[in-house]
Structure 1
Amino acid sequence: MGLMLCMVAATMPAGAAAEPDATPIEDLRLTDEQVWEHVNNLRTDSSGWAAAEAGTMTLVVAAYDADDAAKAQAEYVCDGVNDHAEIQAALKALPAGGTVLLTPGTFNVAGNLQPGAYTTLKGSGDDATTLKFAGVGGPRVRSPYVTFADFTIVGTADLLVAEDHARVHNVTMTVDNSRVGAFYVWAANKVVEDVEFVNCRAIDCGRYGFLNSGEGDPNLITNVRYVNCEAINCGRDSYVSTGPWVTGFDIVEKNNIDGAWIIGCYAEGNQESGFHLEGFSYLSIKNVFFKDCVSINNAAKGKDKCMFGAGFTTPKGCTLENCYSYNNKHGFLVSGGSISKCYDITMKNCTDDASWYGFMFRHGYDSTFVDCVSNDAERQGIVLSKAWNLNVDNFTLNGAAGYPLHAGSPTVTAAKFAGTKTADDPFAGGMWHGPVTDSVIDINAQNCGSETVLCLENAQRVTVTGTIDSSSPDAVKVIGGSDVDTSGVATLNGAAEPQPTPIVIPLID
């Protein structure tokens, strides 16, 4: 699927022709200098890595289809059959600090590639070196201070990290649905720490693009970093038993996490959500930071079929700054997906365009939204359901179409502050049905398509301030509840509409 990002007015419809000042997507992503600035700032103790990089020995392994010059300089030459044997022999021969360098070409691999401690397996570029797995194995980090870099993997494989101190740079994977995830960090009865993915891509993978998971006790992943990574079309063609839940980046599945950074990453066209954390009550999620990430056109199995289908699903312990969502079921979804409560969420300067629901918080407390924007939501720009102790500061609600407060309700609203019943959402099961309480909401709304812009049902001890550009006598509706103060909301009664602010909108060709 072709994609281009364009600086256009907020009212421009998706699919329109690009303006002359269109900004190519590469200009909206991190530059190489920014990538490595983030990488270096996020790294902690480097003493072990200094030892890992101190060696000077390089052993060259040539592909069977490499040119004669490359083969002449190689210590090992592959014949195109079971090429993992030559690669693994080279890895075994390395001293600490050494590198196995793969020439340009294709390596037909039918087993694991497992470097020893303080060693590197490096290709000649992800556009030059291809590891083709026929059905068994994959690169494995089972020793500390291991680096994989600069190659592409296709076929049936996963890249597994099951040990501390791993770096994976410039690796692209296009693999089938027979493994759980393409890039897979696994904490089984241990702590796995200091794992770094930089410039990695999971493209057209049958299952999860980037996955963290674990089992036993402990099952903790800590200090894991994703910088300028991409997950595109993951799970779109996955029909195995857990296929319907495939996401681009699954930061928490069955693991605990304390310390994760997702910086400048991109998710597009994935089966469920672009970025996702499971929120079960037994999982500990702390210190997860998203910054400058983009998530568009997810919920690929159908928005009506997705429980999440979000640009970002973040249940607890997460901070999101300057992140962008476009055309998802939910732009930014705070949900545990079960009876679990959500909490400790901060969103700053985050924007959603054209999702069904821009920002949704269901069943939780102690969270903050600052300077966030919903543009052109197909249903509702913000939904707060069964929530308490929330602070929504300077929220911009622009162009939301509106949707019934409840299934069959005559009240259509652009912003819903009320419980969600099972009839409203087939996935709800009653677990998100409850009022908003003990919260402060500051919201500025304009260009919305419904007579009611803000609706509060059964709210308690809630203060709402801001402005609403609407001539409707029902622009703010309060149904039931107690101690709901909307006196701080100024209705502009059809005052001049502000000019749309140029924003980044994906255009699909």
Structure 2
Amino acid sequence: MRILQPALPVGFPIREVERMRGKWGIEVIIGALLVLCLIQSVAATATVVVAAADASQTSKETAQVFCDGVDDQIEINNAFNMLPAEGGIVQLTEGTFHSSGWIYPTANSQFLGAGEDKTTIDVYNAVDPYQPIHIYQDNVLVKGFTLRGEGFFLIRTNHVTLQDITATSIGANGIRYPSGGNGMFFIWVDNDHTGEITFQNCKAIDCNTHGFNMNANRSTMQDGTRVGSGSYAISNLKFINCQAVRCGFGVPDGSSSEFATGFDIQEDNDLQNVEMDNCLAEDNWENGFHFEPGYLNTKNVVLNNCVSRNNGQRNPAQAPYHDVFVSGYYIHRNAILNNCISVNNKNAGFFVHDGLNTTFNNCVDQGSTYGFKIVKGCADITLNNCQARNDKGWALWSAFTKNLQVKNFFQANAAGESGYQDNLGYYYSQPQYELPVEGSSFDITAYGSSLPIINKDGSGNTYSLKTASADQLPTMPADIIAATVPPVYVTGSVVAVSTTPVTIVATTTPVATATPVVTQVSTSSDPWSSIGKGTGFSSGGFGTFGGASAFQSGGLNKLQVTTSTSSFRATAIGSSWGGFGGRSYAF
């Protein structure tokens, strides 16, 4: 290829001409290399556009794959198969895609919609509601659409980002369907590489199951052989500006289990390095934010500026709340909560059970029954500059706890119980848990109540108790407004689907399973195929373990394996696990 050099002015010094010709030559070569790199980069980012049946004609003219509105997962999976081995982009147009089967993003791919208010994937299968978007290969980005009906995300791998996604059990037709999955955003650990997962601006709204659910396969065969892998851990997990709103409706109203929370971050899985920033849990059936206590391995959990309000209020459970959770934050081990807010949760705002090394900085409860509830085998819990305001019972309640450090705690208008604003030592007259608080310190300022501040039960405790003549309003982070489900997009206009009142399809018995719909996507490398797709699951998803463990929100109904009993774990810990309520643990 001949490189043309620019013409030079008459009389230009010849030495300078030679110097600049050399310079131009180098620059041209560098420019050519940059162009080649750009071409290669563009070629590596292959894009396949998939048009919805109701997409605009303009959008269809840019598409390579066309859906007809029936079993659209087939065309979507075919689009992923069209990508080169190094990955690429599957871009959905505006409109509604109607799916009845599994969708499989491939490795190093991006699965993009035109926006939550423009692209909808509506999932319904009359025989088997377990129809996820299954992310089981590494390096996947999912962004920009609303997932409706029976759809949910099943994640079983590394390096996954979900961004700008709304998930709801309400189908495009306005009917709320029973959920097949154990969470609208569901991570299941059955391998040694689950982590580096980020949820950003993801919303679970009006869901029959957990909004977000993390779990692991600890099942064993009768000979003690582990069904899952050697690791139970989810590592490096982030939630940024995420919301869980109205998750769970009780079994009679169509949920697969009465235990449904907003963020169920830890069930049977270990956790390593978790960050939650500016997240909202509102009006969920059970807890807003839920972490299992006890034998689980938890490291470095941090919540910043989160809000949990009105959780458990739709749940018919009545006080005393020793057989349900219905709290704002149920969190225990190796955790730090900074500037987190609890408002009007049915039981406790902040509930620590069998906790260890957990700190609350500038956290505030307003109007829950109990502000801070720290019970059943806790140690090394710290409250720094926290407040409990307008609580219906005790502002601070602790029993069976060592080294509880309450520093600069302010409580306002606590209604109190049993003649005190705060209580130490009592726990529902259950002798195994009604044990003293020891080696702790309490620096408390109270306002607005004539009751004594605290009963001072226990041993080795120190107290600095003051009564304030004026209220001290806390410095609050910005409130988080609950999102709503985007309306269904219709080409050329937006038509909202009514969500109140909503028709409910209720199932209290497992839905019969059948052979899943066969798609054209290759699943030869998918280890889940012999379990999840080949066997199918009931409407409860991973509903109950059954067998010895009887964990209500983990396990594999349809595998018919014998699960290991958990009693030995409780014995080894010697803590408060035996008999605590909410779910049946069969300890």
Q: TM-score, normalization: structure 1?
A: 0.77
Equivalent of 1:229 in 242, 245, 257: 242
Which position in structure 2 is the counterpart of 1:322? 339
Match of 1:98 in 2: 88
Instruction: Name the counterpart of 2:421.
Output: 414
Match of residue 331 from structure 1: 349
Given the alignment, which residue of 97, 108, 113 partners 1:118? 108
Residue 57 of structure 1 deviates from its aligned partner by: 1.6
What one-letter code is carried by the residue in structure 2 that aligns with 1:265?
C
Contact 1:168–1:198 (8 Å) recurs in 2: yes
Aligned counterparts, 1:356-375, within 5 A:
356-363=369-376, 364-375=378-389
Which ranges of structure 2 fall in alignment gaps of 5 or more residues? 1-39, 170-177, 219-229, 483-587
Residues 1:144 and 2:150 are matched in the alignment: no
Aligned to 1:402, what secondary structure does the other structure show? coil
Aligned equivalents of 2:208, 2:148: Cα separation in 1: 11
Distance 1:264 1:374, change over 3 A: same
More strand by share: 1
Change (3 A) 1:386 1:499: closer
In structure 2, how many angstroms separate the alpha carbons of the residues matched to 1:53 and 1:151? 25
**Conserved 8 A contact 2:208-2:255:** no
Per the alignment, residue 542 of structure 2 pairs with none
| Structure 1 residues 58 and 242, CA gap change in structure 2 (3 angstroms) | closer
Q: Which residue of 2 aligns with 1:409?
A: none
SS at match of 1:456: coil
Q: Are the aligned partners of 1:52 and 1:119 in contact in 2 as well (CA < 8 Å)? A: no
Per-residue CA shift, 1:283-304, capped at 9, x if unaligned? 1111111111000000130452
Q: Contact 1:52–1:118 at 8 Å: present in 2 too?
A: no
- Pairing of 1:381-392 with structure 2 (within 5 A): 381-392=395-406
Rounded Cα–Cα distance in structure 2 between residues aligned with 1:170 and 1:501:
32
| Conserved 8 A contact 2:331-2:352 | yes
Query: 1:156 is matched with which residue: 150, 160, 184?
Result: 150
The amino acid of 2:337's aligned partner reads L
The yes-or-no answer on 1:434 pairing with 2:424 is: no
1:460 aligns with 2:459: yes
Identity of aligned residues (%): 32
Residue 194 of structure 1: aligned partner: 196
CA deviation profile, 1:368-412 (whole Å, cap 9, x unmatched): 1100000100111111111111111101111101112xxxxxxx1
Cα–Cα, structure 1 residues 401 and 179, in superposed 2: closer, same or farther, change >3 Å?
same
Q: Once the two structures are superposed, what CA deviation does each residue of 1:52-110 show, in whole Å capped at 9, x if it has no partner?
A: 99942211000000111111110011100111111110111112241010001000001
CA distance in 1, matches of 2:150, 2:445: 50
**Conserved in 1, the CA contact under 8 Å of 2:49 and 2:65?**
yes
SS of residue paired to 1:380: coil
Moved more, 146-155 or 213-222: 213-222
The 1:453–1:257 alpha-carbon spacing in structure 2 relative to 1, beyond 3 Å, is: same
Q: Quick check: 157-166 or 186-195, which moved more?
A: 186-195
Question: Matched residues in 1 for 2:472 and 2:349: separation?
Answer: 23
Looking at structure 1, the residues matched to 268 and 41 of structure 2 have their Cα atoms a distance apart, in angstroms, of 31
Q: Which residue of 1 aligns with 2:222?
A: none
1-side partners of 2:280 and 2:481: how far apart?
A: 16
CA–CA separation in structure 1 for the residues paired with 2:200 and 2:42: 17
- Counterpart CA distance in 1 for 2:472 and 2:194 is 50
Q: Partner letter of residue 112 of structure 2?
A: K
Indicate the SS of the match to 2:185: strand
Contact 2:131–2:180 at 8 Å: present in 1 too? no
Task: Check the 8 A contact 1:331/1:357 in 2, yes or no.
Answer: yes
Contact 1:54–1:97 (Cα < 8 Å) also in 2: no
Superimposed CA distance per residue, residues 465-501 of structure 1 (whole angstroms, 9 cap, x where no aligned partner): 14124xxxxxxxxxxxxxxxxxxxxxxxxxx434656
Cα distance in 2 for residues equivalent to 1:303 and 1:318? 28
Cα distance in 2 for residues equivalent to 1:376 and 1:262: 27
Could you say which residue in structure 1 is the equivalent of 2:416? 402
Match of residue 21 from structure 1: none
Give the 3-state SS of the residue equivalent to 1:374 in structure 2: strand
Of 166, 170, 183, which residue of structure 1 is paired with 2:185?
183
The answer for the alignment partner of 1:408 in structure 2 is none
What is the CA–CA distance in structure 1 between the aligned matches of 2:117 and 2:246, rounded to whole Å? 20
Letter in 2 for 1:235: G
Q: Which runs of 5+ in 1 are unaligned?
A: 1-50, 336-340, 405-411, 423-428, 470-495
Name the CA shift for 1:270/1:430 in 2 (closer, same or farther; >3 Å): farther
Going from structure 1 to structure 2, the CA distance change for 1:266 and 1:53 (only over 3 Å counts) comes to farther
Question: Would you say the 8 A contact 2:87–2:106 is kept in 1?
Answer: no
Deviation at residue 242 of structure 1 after TM alignment: 6.3
Task: Mark the CA change 1:507 to 1:56 in structure 2 (over 3 Å): closer, same or farther.
Answer: closer
Which structure ranks higher in relative contact order (CA pairs < 8 Å, sequence separation ≥ 6)?
Answer: 2
Rg: which structure is higher?
Answer: 2
Within 5 Å, which residues of 2 pair with 1:30-429?
55-95=44-84, 96-135=86-125, 136-175=130-169, 176-216=178-218, 217-239=230-252, 243-279=257-293, 281-299=294-312, 300-302=314-316, 304=318, 307-328=324-345, 329-335=347-353, 341-363=354-376, 364-404=378-418, 412-422=419-429, 429=430
Other structure's SS at 2:59 match: helix
User: Partner amino acid for 1:443?
Assistant: I
1:204 is paired with a residue whose SS is strand
**Alpha-carbon separation, structure 1, partners of 2:480 and 2:212:** 23
Rounded Cα–Cα distance in structure 2 between residues aligned with 1:290 and 1:123: 30
Equivalent residue for 2:448? 447
Task: Kindly indicate whether the alpha-carbon contact (under 8 Å) linking 1:207 and 1:238 is maintained by their aligned counterparts in 2.
Answer: no
Aligned length: 411
- Conserved in 1, the CA contact under 8 Å of 2:249 and 2:255? no
User: SS at the partner of 1:453?
Assistant: coil
Q: CA deviation at 1:342?
A: 1.7
The CA deviation at 1:191 is 3.5
Rounded to whole Å, the distance in 1 between the matches of 2:212 and 2:42 is: 26
Distance 1:213 1:159 in 2: 13
- Any idea what SS the aligned residue of 1:203 has? strand
Aligned counterparts of 2:456 and 2:52: Cα–Cα separation in 1: 65
Closer/same/farther in 2, CA of residues 285 and 66 from structure 1, 3 Å limit: same
In structure 1, what is the Cα distance between the partners aligned to 2:237 and 2:184? Answer: 16
The one-letter code matched in structure 1 to 2:123 is F
Distance (Å, rounded) in 2 between the aligned partners of 1:59 and 1:444: 63
Please say if residues 280 and 480 of structure 2, whose CA atoms lie closer than 8 Å, have aligned partners that are also in contact.
no
Structure 1, 388-397 or 131-140: larger mean CA deviation:
131-140
Give the counterpart letter for 2:209 in structure 1. R
